[in-house]
Structure 1
Amino acid sequence: MADWRKKLADEIARQGRDMKEVSLKAGLGETYVRDAIKRGRGKLENLIKVAAVLGQPPEWLTSDIPAKPVERPKKEKGFSPKILPGTELVTVRDFPIYAAAMGGNGNLIVTFEPVEIVKRPAILEGVSGAYGILVVGDSMEPAYRQGDMALVHPGLPPARNEDVVLYDHPPDGNCEAILKHLVAWTSTEWILRQWNPPREWSEFMIDWPTCHRVVGKYSRR
């Protein structure tokens, strides 16, 4: 019988994923894969779910057949937010744009003091507290490039397969933030995706309690 523990560990590493994310995608506890590999035991039905998340058939676990090639997300196929043309701008110039800087841990540091006031997009007309963020970094390319303005609606609830900005506390002064694609969430975690390089993982809600929806962007000038 094939060593399913080694096969799982090797395939997770080959795909550039982590055990916690694979466990959650399989609908299991966040430490299930790690514990199963470490202890050398797990229910077959659960291990089959894990294999499916990795794009492998059930028989792959217990035989010597090689892993099937798995198509990973490509940068050019990333989610593209709606780019707003000039005809969709309203005349009022009252839309604040906030600056962001790259923190030492790769997250954003957003300063809630406007660096620019621009025309408000129609999609956010009448929305109290709406704002834009100047994008820094390249982890969300090609959806967002450095210098783009992400347009944020703070009142919309989280939604699967939408872009979001997560904050470490309600926006005020300086906040740590991450701009990512929201795949899903559990009662305790956000499951996130970025495009460059392709990666999917989870973050604890207790660390990122505030979630604002991104509804579009202004392309960089």
Structure 2
Amino acid sequence: MRKVGKLAAMKKKFDGRHLKAWRNARGLKQADLADAIGRVSAVISRIENGVQPINEDQLARAAALLDATPEELLKPPPATVKELRDRGAGNTAPAFGTPAIGSRHEAPRDVPLHGTAAGSFRGAFEIGNTVDYVRRPAGLAGAKNAYALQVVGDSMAPRYEHGDLIYVHPDRVVRRGDDIVFTVKADEHAEAESFVKRLVSRSSDKLVVEQYNPPQETTWEARLVIRCHKVMRNHELYGV
């Protein structure tokens, strides 16, 4: 069975209550686990309460953070917290070839999380409107202008689901095929709005982007585009 297939099979046996028990045994908060799997605390609460399923990538990342294997997360943790701690951080190799992510719960919580525009029904963001701070992935070390966003809506599903946490690196070169956050101002009287889409093309006179759900391509006049920033992929953030 392929590695991904094995993870998918285990996901069907997953019980969020066991994940919560492992997290508590490790002395971690929901925010720590949220940072590890690229979500927000509210999503972790739904996963632990059985309201929302966990996907294969999230299961592997949770296992790496909790110093366990994905199989172990299908059962309650060892009987005592001492037994868990005696194993020591980093002594268990992450299963299925997933590299160790490291102690991300020890990473600085200094990346600003920007908010959704009040009253927006299109999932627009207000860049500069900081509502919280999230932990900094290794791939953004030294990126002083980096920021995070919580995806609103499902226009970019299945790439990004509603509630997903994404990281943005304004100083990275944006190329065709990249996921981007771009800011536009329709006219001098309109408020600037920012959206997450995939870059199709960019020239001196237009910006062409697309979304996945439903499939749709949109063209913006370049004069209306204020900024265009790169959304970082997981392998760029965590090396996986």
Please report the TM-score for the alignment, with normalisation by the length of structure 2. 0.49
Residue in 1 aligned with 2:5?
A: none
1:110 aligned to 114, 120, 126, which one? 126
RMSD: 2.8
Residues 45-77 of structure 1 deviation map (CA, whole Å, 9 limit, x = unaligned): xxxxxxxxxxxxxxxxxxxxxxxxxxxxxxxxx
Residues 91, 156 of structure 1: CA spacing in aligned structure 2 closer, same or farther, 3 A cutoff? same
Give the Cα separation in 2 of the matches to 1:150 and 1:160: 19
Equivalent pairs counted in the alignment come to: 133
Give the Cα separation in 1 of the matches to 2:220 and 2:146: 25
Deviation of 1:114 after TM superposition, in Å, equals: 2.5
Give the Cα separation in 2 of the matches to 1:103 and 1:212: 24
Contact 1:152/1:216 (<8 A) preserved = no
Structure with greater strand share of residues? 1
Give the Cα separation in 2 of the matches to 1:118 and 1:186: 34
Residues 136, 123 of structure 1: CA spacing in aligned structure 2 closer, same or farther, 3 A cutoff? same
**Overall identity of the aligned pairs, in %:** 32
Residues 17-40 of structure 1 deviation map (CA, whole Å, 9 limit, x = unaligned): xxxxxxxxxxxxxxxxxxxxxxxx
Q: How does 1:120-199 map to 2 (within 5 A)?
A: 120-168=136-184, 175-199=192-216
SS in 1 for 2:139: helix
Deviation of 1:128 after TM superposition, in Å, equals: 1.4
Contact 1:99/1:134 (<8 A) preserved = yes
Contact 2:203/2:222 (<8 A) preserved = no
Please report the TM-score for the alignment, with normalisation by the length of structure 1. 0.53
SS in 2 for 1:212: strand
One-letter amino acid of the structure 1 residue matched with residue 143 of structure 2: V
Deviation of 1:208 after TM superposition, in Å, equals: 1.3
Deviation of 1:205 after TM superposition, in Å, equals: 1.4
Q: Which has the larger radius of gyration?
A: 1
Residues 123-156 of structure 1 deviation map (CA, whole Å, 9 limit, x = unaligned): 1111011010111111111111111111000111
One-letter amino acid of the structure 2 residue matched with residue 197 of structure 1: P
Give the Cα separation in 2 of the matches to 1:105 and 1:95: 26
Deviation of 1:104 after TM superposition, in Å, equals: 5.1
SS in 2 for 1:158: coil
Residues 177-201 of structure 1 deviation map (CA, whole Å, 9 limit, x = unaligned): 1110001122211111100001123
1:210 equivalent in alignment to 2:227: yes
Residues 95-120 of structure 1 deviation map (CA, whole Å, 9 limit, x = unaligned): 11111147657350315232222210
Contact 1:107/1:176 (<8 A) preserved = no
Residues 212, 141 of structure 1: CA spacing in aligned structure 2 closer, same or farther, 3 A cutoff? same
Give the Cα separation in 2 of the matches to 1:139 and 1:112: 23
Contact 1:167/1:177 (<8 A) preserved = yes
One-letter amino acid of the structure 1 residue matched with residue 116 of structure 2: A
Higher relative contact order (CA closer than 8 Å, sequence separation 6+): 1
Residues 189, 102 of structure 1: CA spacing in aligned structure 2 closer, same or farther, 3 A cutoff? farther
